[in-house]
Structure 1
Amino acid sequence: MLLSIPTPRWFVRQDLDGFFGLALDNLIQILVIVSLTQNVLKFPSSLIYGRILPSIALSLIVGNFYYSWLAYQQGKRERRADITALPYGINTVSLFAYIFLVMLPVRLEALSQGATSELAAEAAWQAGLVACLGSGLIELAGSWGAERLRKLTPRAALLSTLAGIALTFISIGFFLRTYANPLVGIVPLGVILLTYFGGVKFTIPGTQWTIPGGLLAVLLGMALAWGTGLNQWNSEGFQQAIAPINFYQPHLNIGALWQAKGVLLSYFSVILPMGLFNLVGSLQNIESAEAAGDSYPTAPCLAVNGIGTIVAALFGSCFPTTIYIGHPGWKEMGAKIGYSWLNGLVMGLLCLSGTVGLLVYFVPIDSGMAILLWIGIVIVTQSFNATPVKHAPAVVIGILPGIAAWGALLAKNALRVAGLGTPEKPFTADLIPAFQGTDTYISGAFALEQGLIFSSMILAAITVYILERDFAKAGIWALVAAALAWVGLLHSYAWTVGDTILKLGWGAGYPWAISYALLALLLFYAQWLKGKEP
């Protein structure tokens, strides 16, 4: 009797459950992109639907199809039918980092120099393209050296930086929105917490079919939004929603990238660390998949991840892609290969056809923000769980710059609401004494805002090595901070009409550079004292 050899299949029924989970994750992020680019960056519809979304489609198709093909080939080699493809999609942390730390400052600076809203939007979009391209190139170039980078940088330094952005720009923002619209936000949040943290499975009455928690949360959120009047039928709004429906062919945007090439240097302190974090984060997710039983080749997986981001930037998207956290969850759900390629296909069709606008109209962001809030919570939780307990103080210190940067953003938004930040009433250093009079040292927040990701990583790394009593390595990290501050990549800022921006130049951040150099001397002295201990 011949035994049948297990072979992978392109689609199984459980892939449908996995698809709903992964597709909802990507869909909510696409809705957030549309919402933030429209409402915060004031991008016109032609830019969003004609350039950004088609390129997002390409990047998702490239990655999802590759990881599906890789899983199929791996399953054939290993003679397994239970292999699960790596989950892939838009990078949540980079999405918020590039909008609030790169694109919004560029837009505000353009407006302060007299540009129209349309020209400011174009400048912000071009800056986002350069940031995305830089991230992709770093991921691609580092795909063969990621393991060495990971060994050189303490895990607390890497994860706490992501946690700072996740806690503030993702979690707190959506948490405030949840309580601003409690009738819509709290119940979907409860569903997400019950499903992902409580292990509750919601089944359709009379059947054995379970409803994915993310899908149920979105459906309930939609029902509550429309039922409570948060969303109301508007024929004009509906016409605007269906207006973009068309087929949009992606186009290369080499000219736009070249025009904004200076952004690479101006926002290097954001682009380089985000590229490195995407690289190392994807590496950790590949390791997570191996721990769950699916071993994939590291270098090509990371390289294709970078290629997906480069494709996004070349064709008009400002938002990097990444290998997602949560492979063990999809595997436990029973998803195999089909959930990945189906996600790429469906998301691609939505973005290429302009029907995302219709979803934006019917699916308010309030109905799906609980999923993003959960993602933020998971990232912050992981920064503590995945590091030694002894390093918890380093994680906390690494989170603080993110909180400071978010506070600086709120303060500047409040000033703009109050009528400042215009050519007639520009931002000036005269604001600082007024803040300090209320015991708010806003200048410290402005300093931590510039080079936020470097600040988080360096402070956490210094703290890790102090906890380990390896004071010499802590001193080296302090010298790195001094060098970055001296050339203006860390802490130094300049005033514009409506913002504070990075101030580059030789000696630009000398107060912080000198302070870090003195800290390094102190740490080296501590190492010398340690050598004299019995």
Structure 2
Amino acid sequence: MHRRWLTPGDLNGFLGLVVDNLSIMAFLSTALIGIFGFPADIVFLRMFPGTALGVLLGNIAYTMMAQRLARRTGRQDVTAMPLGLDAPTSIGLSLLVLGPAFVGFKQAGMDAHAAGEATWQLGMASLVIMGVLKTVLSFFGAAVQRHVPRAGLLGSIAGIALVLMGFLPLVEILKVPLVGFAGLGIVLYALVAKGRMPAGLPGVLVAVLVAAFLYYVFGPLGWLGTGYHQPPAWQWRFALPWPTLQWIHGLAYAAPYLPLIMPFGLLMVVGGINVTESARAAGDDYATRDILLVEALATLVAGFCGGVAQTTPYIGQPSYKAMGARRGYTLLTGLVIGLGGMLGYVSNLVELVPLSVLAPILVFVAIGITVQAFEATPMRYAAAVVFSFFPAIARMVTIKLGDPTYVSSEHFAALYNDQSHGLSELAVIAILGNGFIMTSMLWASAVVALIDGRTGRAACILLLGALLTSCGLIHSVTLAGGVYVPWMLAAPERTMVWQFVSAYGVLAIILLLFSLQRAKPEFAD
């Protein structure tokens, strides 16, 4: 039977998937170059080629898996699993790991290029660590789901979405409101309200085209003030993503960031399980382990070849299926993004599209992830989901207050260490935000256990929190947020550690005592 590789629906799927990937690469470059002053040549010639290679290989593999499934079942309507760069972790990695690390390297005396090289090595090492973790966990995905409640997994990622993917991009939108607000409105109309677009075009594409039109028409006229920047000239950038061992040098830099890096990998495993179940419900029965292994290996290869953003199977395979996409859209996306990262046209495209144009897409993704956390979690656990947001909010406040353009590093350190009236408010906010993803998972898991009447389990989770706190995997008391051996710390940091450890421990003991109570008798009405 003749099987067509490309259908009209594949073109729609391709436009949606390629724009998603371009927007994440654009945010990655804009955040590093525009916010932190990162050297552009390292982003475009070192980071982009390897990152794009992961998208290329992953999409080719998913296309072949779909073709194999179609051949085995004899069905023509099999839709490939969409794969691309993960938005929450790519944004989190750029804002929480790579950017701050670059600033730290410069403060340590490195020049901008040397600091950029060290940060690139850190990014590669982070990707390799996540790839190894995902490869191992791909064989134990079901066990992860059993032991970490959905409220903890989805709540923690929703916290990232709400404050990092939602609020911070919304600020970028309102920096150029004429452009960004129009794009945001179109995204909300098309994707949230399900409004119809002219000629059936994808809503994301229309939003980008309209916002870019406004930017390049009104910008030169002076209507956008200092929000308009003349785009750079088109440059020929050719760089092949050769395997390199420079990621090994980055392992030493990665240690302080493990509380962020490891949960990012864990979240992708659970997300991969969920999206595979979603595809199965839509009629395409992919093997969960195969889906997870492909994206884990794609992440590993990207890290070995200079990439700094991990790949993931995207939520929404049934949506691509509904628009008529089959197997060709993933192959096209992989080729366009993969070759674009090597030949340089992707870097030129992201330079042409300002953040105010792309930010509405990120706000929509943030809305979708946050809504999903509540929709996919039983209503009785809503309080656990909400409770898991607080550490992410603390992290966002720390990011802003830790920006030396707002508060000097010396003044920030002085406020942090001021214990004249107990722990300073700034220290509490920073400590709550350090390791916030794992903290969110623990807090939500404990609340879920309490709601289920499993008070002893909640106490055990809190004891685990005390252990993680003691070594800085959560609630790190160092300004850099690193891990440590508690008895090696000097005062006042050692005192702060034991305060937080004992807080978890005392609450765990109280809950254990509560769990010994005889069950309350129930009386018939």
1:36-51 paired onto structure 2 within 5 Å: 36-51=31-46
Q: SS at 2:284's partner residue? A: coil
Of 253, 268, 274, which residue of structure 1 is paired with 2:244? 253
Residues 152-172 of structure 1: per-residue CA shift (max 9 Å, x gap): 110000001101111111100
The verdict on how the C-alpha distance between 1:357 and 1:58 changes in structure 2, with shifts beyond 3 A counting, is closer
Say yes or no: does 1:219 pair with 2:204. no
C-alpha deviation, 1:262, in angstroms = 2.1
The partner residue of 1:527 within 496, 511, 515 is 515
Alignment correspondent of 1:391: 381
Please state if 1:238 is matched with 2:223: no
Give the drift of 1:302: 0.4
Q: Where in structure 2 are there 5+ consecutive unaligned residues?
A: 488-493
Partner of 1:19: 14
Hey, what does 2:482 align to over in structure 1? 502
Report the Cα offset of residue 295 of structure 1: 0.8
* Whole-angstrom distance in 2 between the partners of 1:461 and 1:133: 28
Report Cα offsets for 1:413-443 as digits up to 9, x if no partner: 2xx125612xxx4642445659999x98222
Question: Aligned partners of 2:513, 2:472: CA distance in 1, in Å?
Answer: 27
* Displacement after TM superposition at 1:9 (Å): 2.6
3-state DSSP of counterpart to 1:126 = helix
Structure 1 gaps of 5+ residues are 205-209
State the match for 2:491 in structure 1.
none
> What is the Cα deviation at residue 105 of structure 1?
2.9
Which residue identity is paired with 2:237?
A: N
1:174 Cα deviation after fit: 1.3
User: Equivalent of 2:503, from 515, 524, 527?
Assistant: 515
Distance (whole Å) between structure 1 residues aligned to residue 305 and residue 441 of structure 2: 31
Change in CA separation of 1:340 and 1:489 when aligned onto 2, cut-off 3 Å: same
Q: Does 1:328 align with 2:318?
A: yes
Match of 1:170 in 2: 165
Q: How far is the alpha carbon of 1:268 from its aligned partner?
A: 1.8
Q: Give the match for residue 308 of structure 1.
A: 298
Q: Within 2, Cα distance between the matches of 1:519 and 1:46?
A: 51
Partner SS for 2:312: strand
Cα deviation 1:282-301 (Å, max 9, x = unaligned): 11010111111111011111
Q: Map Cα deviations across residues 281-334 of structure 1 (whole Å, 9 max, x no partner).
A: 111010111111111011111001100111111111111110001111111111
For 2:114, the equivalent position in structure 1 comes to 119
State the distance in 2 between where 1:36 and 1:177 align: 11
Whole-Å Cα distance in 1 between the matches of residues 315 and 518 of structure 2? 40
Q: Which residue number in structure 2 is paired with residue 181 of structure 1? A: 176
- Check conservation: 1:166, 1:380, Cα contact below 8 A: yes
**TM-score, structure 2 as length reference:** 0.92
Distance (Å, rounded) in 1 between the aligned partners of 2:407 and 2:383? 40
Displacement of 1:232 in angstroms is 5.8
Q: Following superposition of structure 1 onto structure 2, how do residues 39-118 of structure 1 map, counting pairs within 5 Å? A: 39-118=34-113
Cα separation, partners in 2 of 1:470 and 1:399, compared to 1, 3 Å: same
**Aligned residues of 2:189 and 2:195 also touching (Cα < 8 A):** yes
Whether the 8 Å contact between 1:133 and 1:313 is mirrored in structure 2 is yes
Q: Please tell me the residue identity of whatever aligns with 1:166.
A: A
Match of 1:292 in 2: 282
What do the CA deviations read for 1:432-469 (whole angstroms, capped 9, x no partner)? 659999x9822221101211111100001001111111
CA displacement 1:69-102 (0-9 Å, x = unmatched) = 1001101111100011001000111112212222
| Counterpart code for 2:503 | S
Q: Helix, strand or coil: the match of 2:251?
A: coil
CA RMSD of aligned residues (A): 2.1
Deviates more, 1:36-45 or 1:371-380: 36-45
> What amino acid does structure 2 have at the position aligned with 1:514?
S
Aligned position for 1:153: 148
Cα distance in 1 between the residues matched to 2:81 and 2:500: 42
TM-score by length of 1: 0.91
Tell whether 2:405 aligns with 1:420.
no
Map of 2:136 onto structure 1: 141
Q: Distance in 1 between matches of 2:85 and 2:483?
A: 30
* C-alpha distance 345-518 of structure 1, shift in aligned 2 (>3 A): same
